[in-house]
């Protein structure tokens, strides 16, 4: 099994694939678009790899961090999630955001992933609760609260922003941001993007 690749970017072959040359051998690796944007031809790259083997094919999925690879594998262990859907989920929501989404039960955020409808999102939330390391968000009286990120997403949607804009504006927010500060930051980001 291939666990890591250390080499140089040769080409980006498609929207989600790159060729990494290691000691004269080029490996085609599928990645998230976020990961591909961070690659540079000028510096050596270390990718954490999931080597996916089927009867009819072998594919490599590359990640810049071990956390991304672990989350990808957690997604693969979920019923009905194959590599393409797992990669699409991570392309839409990075691991910390996905943990926040599952912890807060924000199924609307999962429906932003291409190919995930409301029923699939609800099933994924249930199954991922037992697979991901979730933070405790219970209050003193035993009730669950919505996370700040979920509240910010809901507020932006209510203001009429498109789902893609909401994802872009909230994907870089710190995990522990307050709803008020996060909303200010997201609105500033959206304003800059539309300017």
Q: What's residue 139's pLDDT? A: 44
- Strand, helix or coil for residue 181: helix
Burial grade of 65 (CB within 10 A; 0-12, 13-18, 19 or more): middle
pLDDT in tens, the chain (195 residues): 899 999 999 999 877 899 999 999 999 999 999 999 999 988 999 999 999 998 898 999 999 999 999 999 999 988 889 999 999 999 998 888 888 888 878 888 888 899 898 898 888 988 888 777 655 444 444 434 456 777 787 788 778 887 778 777 877 777 677 888 888 888 888 888 776
- Strand, helix or coil for residue 178: coil
Q: What's residue 134's pLDDT? A: 59
Q: What's residue 180's pLDDT? A: 84
Q: What's residue 133's pLDDT? A: 64
Q: What is the DSSP string of 100-121?
A: HHHHHT-HHHHTTSTT--HHHH
């Amino acid at each position: 099994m291939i666990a890591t690749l250390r080499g140089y970017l040769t080409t980006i072959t498609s929207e989600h694939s790159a060729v990494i040359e290691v000691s004269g051998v080029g490996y085609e690796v599928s990645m998230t678009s976020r990961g591909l944007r961070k690659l540079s031809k000028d510096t050596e790259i270390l990718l954490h790899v999931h080597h996916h083997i089927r009867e009819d094919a072998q594919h490599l999925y590359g990640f810049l961090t071990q956390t991304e690879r672990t989350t990808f594998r957690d997604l693969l262990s979920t019923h009905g999630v194959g590599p393409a859907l797992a990669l699409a989920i991570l392309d839409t929501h990075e691991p910390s955001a996905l943990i926040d989404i599952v912890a807060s039960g924000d199924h609307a955020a999962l429906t932003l992933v291409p190919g995930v409808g409301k029923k699939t999102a609800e099933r994924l939330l249930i199954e991922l609760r037992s697979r991901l390391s979730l933070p405790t968000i219970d209050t003193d009286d035993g009730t669950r609260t919505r996370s700040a990120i979920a509240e910010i997403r809901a507020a932006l949607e209510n203001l009429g922003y498109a789902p893609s804009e909401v994802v872009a504006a909230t994907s870089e927010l710190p995990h522990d941001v307050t709803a008020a500060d996060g909303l200010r930051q997201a609105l500033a980001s959206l304003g800059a993007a539309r300017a």
